[in-house]
Every structure is written in C-alpha cells, then in structure tokens.
C-alpha cells in the first residue's frame, strides 16, 4: 500500500512557546501543522498560559492540536523538528526557554520507546498544560483521575485565540 493509500492515523501534538511573541508563534505553528506532508489539521484547543515547570523565563503559551496523518511517527517527528527550527528553536540545555516546542503526545494507539521518540509522551500525564488542552479537544483521551492529579498546577485558559 502506498502512502497515499494508507489510512490516516490520529495524532495529538502539544505546542508551547515562551520566547518572542509566543501567542503568535503557537497560532502559526497550529496552522503549519496542516501544511505538513500527508497531514491534515483536524482541530486545535484554546491557548493556555502556564508558568515554566523545571525551567525559567516568561510564562508559556500552550495548546494541543489533533492531526490526521499517514506519516510514520518518526517522519512526523522530523517534520515537527523542522517547524521548530524554522521558528528559531535552540536547545542550549534541557528545559531551556524556547521559541517553539512541538511534542507528539499520542499517535493512534501505538506505544513506542526509542532513543529519539517515546509515545505516549512520557510526561504528558504529569502536566496540566498538556492534559487540559487535550481534554478540551479529545475528552475521551483524558480521564478525570488524570485531571484531578494535576489540579494543583496553575494553568489559565485564554479567552481569545
């Protein structure tokens, strides 16, 4: 079966930024997801503001997007890293402030653990800034127990997109 005949897989992508015009960057990145090869943007969450966790710098702007893609998980990761680079992403140290961060949260129902990519994202269940926007667009993917476990984390949903 050629890639054009493959059935699309539903994937969820976390987006975050805290350098420059973070709101604009995240909005543009959501739209850019729909321009990736063999990928269609299905929906995206509201924007959320959160303080950095295990990091420094200004507050983050976060969102989650749902895409339908026939790219493999590794090919999708490569495309996301290309978008990060285009936004000026640098990786001077772990959890450094960033112009754009894109993470694959879920890719269909697969589980993957390689040096380059782990799916489901290994820390997604610990982070309100991931779970709240994911619950907004895919409530069946986030149990109330998970939301309760992160209820003490300060996350503010922004009214405007």
* 89 a catalytic residue: yes
| 3-class SS of residue 66 | strand
- Profile the chain (161 residues) by mean pLDDT over runs of 10 residues: 75 95 96 97 97 81 98 98 85 66 96 95 94 97 95 88 51
Q: Which of 27, 103, 127, 141 is catalytic?
A: 103
CB atoms within 10 A of CB 39: 20
User: Per the domain annotation, does 78 fall within a domain?
Assistant: yes
127 an active-site residue? Answer: no
Range of the domain at 129: 9-157
Assign residue 91 the CATH number of its domain: 3.30.70.560
Structural domain tally of the chain? 1
Annotated catalytic residue 43: no
Bond preceding residue 102 cis, omega within 30 of 0: no
Burial readout 76-96 (b: 16 or more C-beta within 10 A, e: otherwise):
bbebbeebbeebebeeeeeeb
Does pTM top 0.75 for this prediction?
Answer: yes
Whether 89 maps to a domain, the answer reads yes
Is 77 inside any structural domain? yes
By C-alpha distance, which of 3, 115, 18 is closest to 58? 18
Indicate whether 64 belongs to any domain: yes
- Domain assignment present for 54: yes
């Amino acid at each position: 079966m050629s890639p054009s005949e493959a059935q699309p897989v539903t994937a969820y992508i976390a987006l975050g930024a805290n350098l420059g015009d973070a709101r604009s960057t995240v909005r543009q990145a959501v739209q850019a997801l729909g321009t990736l090869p063999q990928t269609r943007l299905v929906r995206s969450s509201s924007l959320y503001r959160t303080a950095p966790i295990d990091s420094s710098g200004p507050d983050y702007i976060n969102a989650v997007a749902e895409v339908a893609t026939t790219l493999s998980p590794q090919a999708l990761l490569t495309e996301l890293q290309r978008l990060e680079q285009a936004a000026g992403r640098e990786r001077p140290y772990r959890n450094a402030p960033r112009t754009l961060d894109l993470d694959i949260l879920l890719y269909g129902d697969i589980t993957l653990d390689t040096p380059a990519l782990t799916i489901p994202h290994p820390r997604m269940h610990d982070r309100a800034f991931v779970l709240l926007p994911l619950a907004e667009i895919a409530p069946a993917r986030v149990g109330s127990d998970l939301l309760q476990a992160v209820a003490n984390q300060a996350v503010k949903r922004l009214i405007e997109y």
